[in-house]
Amino acid sequence: MIATGALEKVLLELKKRFDADKGAMMLVFEDATGRQIDFDLRGSVEQVLARALPSAIRTGPGRPRLGVVSREISLLPRHWEWLEEQPNGASAALRRLVDGARRRQDGRSRARRSLDAAARFLSAIAGNLHGYEEATRALYAKDRPRLSRLTNKWPRDIRAHMMRLIGDSF
């Protein structure tokens, strides 16, 4: 593992390694999903950061400094009518609805997303390691002792990151 943490910190370390060896193979994973992310590391540090980090430049409606992203959604007329009647406008009503649904979401779906993220990470980074398929079965069976036994000879960083992604899923 080269770096973990805030995106800016990770990018600075990646850029340093990239500049030292342009042919180095580096994989970056997003913890929430376990998916690989690619960054364009060419150019100056400032250029790399500008391409990768959200811009604070105002380009239209919304509050970019708060991470607000403008997107389009399609609703039926009755949905728009209801939203327009809500206090503070349609956007605020939609945010309240989404936040409420997220709060009501049960722990099983969060646990499932954690397991899926760990499985994606393992598929990319450990797919050729001894016992990978059985370890994936143990992961989804939520059999921590078996998972630990099957992965005990894997590189420490891979095991540690897998366990961090799993968290308290089981």
Instruction: List, for residues 80-116, the tens digit of each pLDDT value.
Output: 999 999 999 898 999 999 988 877 777 678 888 999 9
CA distance 82 to 161: 45
Please, which pLDDT band fits residue 62 given cuts at 50, 70 and 90? low
> Does 74 have pLDDT greater than 50?
yes
Helical ranges in 43-141 per DSSP H = 45-52, 77-85, 89-104, 107-126, 132-140
Instruction: Give the amino acid at 37.
Output: I
Q: Give the global pTM.
A: 0.68
CA distance 98 to 29: 26
Please, which pLDDT band fits residue 58 given cuts at 50, 70 and 90? very low
pLDDT (0 to 100) of residue 150? 98
Q: What are the tens digits of pLDDT across the range 111-166?
A: 889 999 999 999 999 999 999 999 999 999 999 999 999 999 999 999 999 999 99
Which is it for strands 28-29 and 36-37: parallel, antiparallel or unpaired? antiparallel
pLDDT (0 to 100) of residue 55? 61
Q: What are the tens digits of pLDDT across the range 44-56?
A: 999 999 999 876 4
Share of the chain above pLDDT 90, in %: 69
Phi-psi map region of 167: left, alpha, beta (phi>0 left; psi -120 to 50 alpha): left
CA distances from 52 to 10, 21, 28 (A): 11, 21, 13
Angle between helices 45-52 and 7-20 (to 10 degrees): 140
The one-character DSSP state at 95 is H
Helix count and strand count (H, E) for the chain: 8, 2
Spatial contact of 69 and 76, defined as CB atoms under 8 Å apart: no
